[in-house]
Amino acid sequence: MKATHLCALVVLAAAALAFALSLAGCEETDRQAKMKGHAQVVAVDGDQPTRDVAALHRAAEAGDVDAMRQLGNAYWRGRDGVEQDEVEAVKWYRMGAEARDPKAMLYLALSYGTGDGVAQDDGEAARWLRQAAEAGNVDAMNLLSGIYHEGRGVDQDDAEAIRWCRNAANAGSIHAMLLLGMMYDYGDGVDRDYGEALHWYGLAAEAGDAAAMHGLAMMYRRGHGVERDDVEAVRWCRKAAEGGNSDAMCNLGVAYFHGTVVAQDYAEAIRWFHQAAQSGSAIGMRELAKIYYYGYGVDKNADEAISWFRRAAEAGDTESMVQIGLIYEQGRDLKKDLVEAEKWYRAALADPNAPQRDRARAQERLDLLTD
């Protein structure tokens, strides 16, 4: 199973960004970022104390598991009249967890995962995640799926990863539905099954997930699991773009640029490329650069084009790296600078995921420069 898709599970399906990063093997050493991620988990379930801390203490000491968890949250975030104290927070999470509260189990697992308030321990994190998942906590199911894929605190086991992902999806997790759609679409960890992909994308899309809407659009565009239908593809692509999916914004821009299914409209193409670029899409930046460079629907504007090519290149787009290199090499619209040209060609070649076309162009230009 490709790590990118299971890493997406951990990042998307769980609100605990910091813990997800650690379980997925991503580097995250900034303590504030970890705390922010943990606080997001604490906040999502509406655990807002309705009693003062003294009342919470009395209730928790009397065995009220909700009060134990809420008290842990108060200490974790340093609110409601108490000083922030992660160790005290973990103490109350542990009491709630041992009293079989699924949310407290999750929060205790997150604490072990980040090592805040307790010694970092992947094995303990996994143990409490499993207990929370078995008790029905959907966030825990999603995270458990991720750690089985990565083998963090447990033996690596794709079958278990998929089982818990499916459990989360069946329990209503939109992100798990999306991930199952992706796995069946790409054949990651499962036999490729476009019918299953269509099913899970459809459930997530109907629940409002923009990435799943884009997945559906691509299924209709390619005729995977369903009869090819460009009109339906554009409909779902538009819904995904309006829902904030930058890939869909780019594809919708391409449709308007070429007049595919929709009437050709450079202004609409520019609008969608610009939205994608503003959302951080390197492809959107690159396509917007081309619009300005060649003057499609706008006056040619080399400065604006180069600005967008540079931003796309800095965001990792290898086609833009090669283009910037060519501009420097040939002295078009920028002062000729062979050192800069070589730098960008080498940057494109250094990207292991660069398309072969970009690698070939970069190597060709570099060979001419260095002969």
pLDDT in tens, 338-359: 999 999 999 999 999 999 999 9
| pTM beyond 0.85 | no
- DSSP secondary structure code for residue 172 in this structure: T
Helix (H) or strand (E) holding 129: helix 122-134
Confidence of residue 35 (pLDDT cuts 50, 70, 90): very low
Helix (H) or strand (E) holding 283: helix 282-294
Residues 11 and 24 sit within 8 Å (Cβ to Cβ):
yes
Confidence of residue 13 (pLDDT cuts 50, 70, 90): very low
Is the pLDDT assigned to residue 112 strictly greater than 80? yes
Mean pLDDT of 162-188: 95
Distance CA 188, CA 231 (A): 28
The larger pLDDT score, comparing residue 201 to residue 14, is at 201
One-letter identity of residue 272 = W
Confidence of residue 52 (pLDDT cuts 50, 70, 90): confident
Mean pLDDT of 103-126: 96
pLDDT in tens, 210-225: 999 999 999 999 999 9
Confidence of residue 9 (pLDDT cuts 50, 70, 90): very low
Q: Does domain 1-156 have CATH number 1.25.40.10?
A: yes
Is the pLDDT assigned to residue 370 strictly greater than 50? yes
Across 30-44, 160-174, 257-271, 292-306, least confident range: 30-44
Distance CA 279, CA 208 (A): 19
Is the pLDDT assigned to residue 49 strictly greater than 90? no
Residues 297 and 270 sit within 8 Å (Cβ to Cβ):
yes
Mean pLDDT of 162-191: 95
> Own/partner pairs for 61-69, CB < 8 Å, 24+ apart?
63/99, 65/96, 65/99, 65/100, 65/101, 65/104, 66/101, 68/92, 68/93, 68/95, 68/96, 68/99, 68/101, 68/104, 69/93, 69/96, 69/101, 69/103, 69/104, 69/107
Mean pLDDT of 302-309: 97
Helix (H) or strand (E) holding 89: helix 86-98
Mean of the per-residue pLDDT values for the chain? 88
pLDDT in tens, 60-108: 999 999 999 999 999 998 887 889 999 999 999 999 999 999 999 999 9
Q: What is the pLDDT of residue 51?
A: 59
Confidence of residue 47 (pLDDT cuts 50, 70, 90): low
Helix (H, G, I), strand (E, B) or coil at 342: helix
Residues 325 and 334 sit within 8 Å (Cβ to Cβ):
no
The larger pLDDT score, comparing residue 7 to residue 181, is at 181
Mean pLDDT of 218-246: 97
pLDDT in tens, 74-85: 999 888 788 999
Q: What is the pLDDT of residue 39?
A: 38
Mean pLDDT of 155-167: 94
Confidence of residue 42 (pLDDT cuts 50, 70, 90): very low
Is the pLDDT assigned to residue 33 strictly greater than 90? no
Per DSSP, the chain holds a count of helices (H) and strands (E) of: 21, 0
Q: Which two tokens stand for residue 139?
A: 């966030």
Residues 174 and 207 sit within 8 Å (Cβ to Cβ):
yes
Residues 189 and 173 sit within 8 Å (Cβ to Cβ):
no
Backbone angle region of 130, left / alpha / beta, with phi > 0 → left and psi within -120 to 50 → alpha: alpha
Q: Which two tokens stand for residue 95?
A: 């009491």
Is the pLDDT assigned to residue 255 strictly greater than 90? yes
Residues 179 and 193 sit within 8 Å (Cβ to Cβ):
no
In this structure, the number of other CB atoms found within 10 A of the CB of residue 330 comes to: 12
Is the pLDDT assigned to residue 17 strictly greater than 70? no
The larger pLDDT score, comparing residue 233 to residue 370, is at 233
Nearest to 199 by CA among 210, 218, 184: 184
Nearest to 313 by CA among 265, 359, 347, 270: 347
Q: At what angle do helices 356-370 and 318-330 cross, to 10 degrees?
A: 30
Mean pLDDT of 156-166: 94
Distance CA 161, CA 157 (A): 6
Distance CA 197, CA 180 (A): 7
Q: Which two tokens stand for residue 341?
A: 């040209």
Q: What are phi and psi of 334, to 5 degrees?
A: -140, 155
